[in-house]
Structure 1
């Protein structure tokens, strides 16, 4: 098939949705599909054979687009619409894969060009906005109806977790939906990083530092934990690092918390090899954090909050789940640091789960089956 991917993000940059889009491209191109993609101006070319990238113009003020909703992102989405129309007019595409809010663009263009689209749901837009801005009820309902309309116009949907699959099926009963869980980002091990060498046991967080990630909760919990330990936080922009460094000072843990800043995604395994415990303290959202899959593959025990964002993938066999409070976070840290047998059990069960369900091969198998056995017949019906 000839497929156009609408990816309203900087691409490629090493963070959640762009990493998922790259995985999607790699599998589709590897199966012999012809892929074009429209993305934001910022980012590096990932160099995937068989994928043509078309970037938005690098206009002043539209750099450094953050994750989630922003005015910059909204302006870029508006600019993407005529670019998508131009590609559809010239390209003779069989299918559009519209990532997140790009589904609204695909919905608007479908009556004009007749090209069906798959809605790639990496997060719920009204839920994401509500978490950030505490929307009034009427606006949340309006956005939910708009999201449901985008789903109804699709030929199928891809989601990154079961909660979003259930959301889409609630919008459109009977719509084909395939959950494609993210996979580990750990590559072949390299040299252990010298900037992450500590004498104390290391509790490690890797990821962006947006408020929904709960890193403030992690710092407060770590400050309450007893015994030796070093909290290492990797990732984030400088403004977030500065704010969390101030918090660490306020709770009396500044001398035990190290902020290393962003590191190349290709080296995630090298940094995880320095950890004794890995942590996902997320407090908001439905989608499972991408980091969880690398954590499970790291050979290190995982501590995570007992919330749906985690429990749709994690259970007590493969992670220590705690309530999202500083007290319970501190208890979890202490438990894992003091109980070697518990750590070993979690690591072994996680290793088995990753091999069975969250490997790159499993991802490719699910996507290929969905396209060939579900979407292709529906496209054939629409062409008749």
Structure 2
């Protein structure tokens, strides 16, 4: 498995990679994961983590395209080639994430083994989402790379309907398996201190309304929108607190200063271990996802559905390919609309309970762990089937082959 990410860190693609690996090793597969030198090890049976060399002064990897990723991808490429070509192991398949699919396709052909491309996002779209570059030449290069990875793979896993539609439009829908990240940011449950204790730890009272945001602080996540909406919401729900879980120290410091200046009731925890997140969910009254761009479904949405808390989210494709008006309050991406949606679920507890119950039913019906495991097995059955020799068709005696000519 080729993973051009810091593994493990509690953010989108590494979470997805973790649950892919967990499903595979539970099914008896052995996985050699070749990844960046950054991240913490995880203890799973039949998993061997092989890391590339760490360059001096590189201690973190920003989300999205960056110069740091270019450097780390070059080093990762060398490590992958050493492991695959000189390491002495014989592999049954290659499973590549994100941009390493380019190398994965080539390497699969070189070794004569099937390749699976795990498509977490559209690479050309990332240029816009992360404001990395407006270069038409670079976008063209990303489009070509994406086409090479999708069309050159025996199986493509997509993580949302938008990407599944993209693969179908590229003409290889028969090789695509949609596996939503239904495990989200889920981790194995650990005993928690309890709702009141979590609130007390962050200066919150047992009775005040609390809205929870969890995730990164990238621009597309809509933290600016949440800040402005919280100021308006405070006028409707005076004792409100918005608990914000995530962000590195610099990001938290910058946003906290702006929140204080604006009078926004935001309480920042910074980055917390994944095992803490369910306890923050237990301590809140509503969950919010204020994304303003992108089309991939946030991983947290799947765990939000099972949380027993009402969800308020922006009415964009990133959310609506999973959420409906029956399972969440969907609002336009404006401060007034987001504030009104949050006020609705905080002030009408019966309606909020109905939404939460409907969301849980949706999770059970369409986004269960069993569905995730079943589709993973389906993808791998398709992958291994792709390399089995196909029986030759022998013409019946006296029959002319296609084209009407007699056999020579």
- TM-score, normalisation: structure 1: 0.93
Deviation at 1:250, TM superposition (A): 3.6
Q: Please state whether the residue corresponding to 2:130 is helix, strand or coil.
A: helix
Contact 2:164/2:173 (<8 A) preserved: no
Segments of structure 2 that go 5 or more residues without pairing to the other structure are 393-408
Contact 1:189/1:269 (<8 A) preserved: no
Q: Please state whether the residue corresponding to 1:219 is helix, strand or coil.
A: helix
Distance in 2, matches of 1:14 and 1:246, equals 25
Q: Please state whether the residue corresponding to 1:379 is helix, strand or coil.
A: coil
State which of 198, 204, 218 in structure 2 corresponds to 1:210. Answer: 218
Distance in 1, matches of 2:18 and 2:64, equals 18
Deviation at 1:329, TM superposition (A): 0.7
Residue correspondence of structure 1 range 138-287 to structure 2 within 5 A: 138-182=137-181, 183-184=183-184, 185=186, 187-192=189-194, 193=198, 194-196=200-202, 198-199=204-205, 200-225=208-233, 226-228=236-238, 229-253=240-264, 256-287=265-296
Partner of 2:43: 47
Contact 1:196/1:271 (<8 A) preserved: no
Distance in 1, matches of 2:216 and 2:311, equals 18
Residue correspondence of structure 1 range 1-384 to structure 2 within 5 A: 5-89=1-85, 90-133=88-131, 135-182=134-181, 183-184=183-184, 185=186, 187-192=189-194, 193=198, 194-196=200-202, 198-199=204-205, 200-225=208-233, 226-228=236-238, 229-253=240-264, 256-372=265-381, 374-381=382-389
Deviation at 1:110, TM superposition (A): 3.3
Deviation at 1:346, TM superposition (A): 0.7
Distance in 2, matches of 1:117 and 1:63, equals 31
Distance in 1, matches of 2:282 and 2:29, equals 37
Q: Deviations over 1:302-341 (max 9, x none)?
A: 0000000100111111110000011111111111111112
| Aligned CA distance change for structure 1 residues 82 and 63 (closer, same or farther; 3 Å) | same
Q: Deviations over 1:45-98 (max 9, x none)?
A: 111100111011122123211221111111111111121122222321111110
Number of residue pairs matched by the alignment? 377
- TM-score, normalisation: structure 2: 0.88
Contact 2:159/2:179 (<8 A) preserved: yes
| Aligned CA distance change for structure 1 residues 306 and 28 (closer, same or farther; 3 Å) | same
Partner of 2:403: none
Deviation at 1:14, TM superposition (A): 1.4
Deviation at 1:188, TM superposition (A): 5.0
* Larger Rg over CA atoms: 2
Divergent runs of 4+, >6 A: none
Q: Please state whether the residue corresponding to 1:48 is helix, strand or coil.
A: coil
Deviation at 1:137, TM superposition (A): 4.1
| Aligned CA distance change for structure 1 residues 74 and 251 (closer, same or farther; 3 Å) | same
| Aligned CA distance change for structure 1 residues 16 and 382 (closer, same or farther; 3 Å) | farther
Q: Deviations over 1:176-220 (max 9, x none)?
A: 111111125162552222424523200110111111111110111
Deviation at 1:171, TM superposition (A): 2.2
Distance in 1, matches of 2:301 and 2:164, equals 19
Segments of structure 1 that go 5 or more residues without pairing to the other structure are none
Distance in 1, matches of 2:249 and 2:230, equals 21
Deviation at 1:27, TM superposition (A): 0.9
Q: CA RMSD in A?
A: 1.8
Deviation at 1:247, TM superposition (A): 2.5
| Aligned CA distance change for structure 1 residues 381 and 346 (closer, same or farther; 3 Å) | farther
Q: Please state whether the residue corresponding to 1:259 is helix, strand or coil.
A: strand
